[in-house]
Amino acid sequence: MAKKRDYKKEYRDFHGKPKQIKLRNMRNAARNQAMKEGKVKKGDGKHIDHIKPLSKGGTNGKKNIRIVSAKTNLRKGAKYSRVRKK
């Protein structure tokens, strides 16, 4: 039988750290801004993707953000993807 996850320990050891809280607040701010601009809606299945992840020194600036499907963003993870110019 698989070991049961200890969510409280995970939060205490990782998610509750000041750096992680700051990054989460930055992600939330980017999403809120996109919602104000009408680019995304709550429950629409879209994610705000940071082209250069916040964890790698990226910002919430408009040049570093794009709207993608949840599947695309979750597949990418914290990888740094350059935007192709059309």
| 45-73 per-position pLDDT tens digit | 898 888 888 788 888 788 988 999 988 88
φ, ψ of residue 66 to 5 degrees: the values are -145, 160
Q: What are 9's two structure tokens?
A: 């320990």
Q: What are 76's two structure tokens?
A: 């990418």
Question: Model confidence over 20-44: pLDDT tens digits?
Answer: 888 888 888 888 988 999 988 988 9
* pTM of the predicted structure, to 2 decimals: 0.61
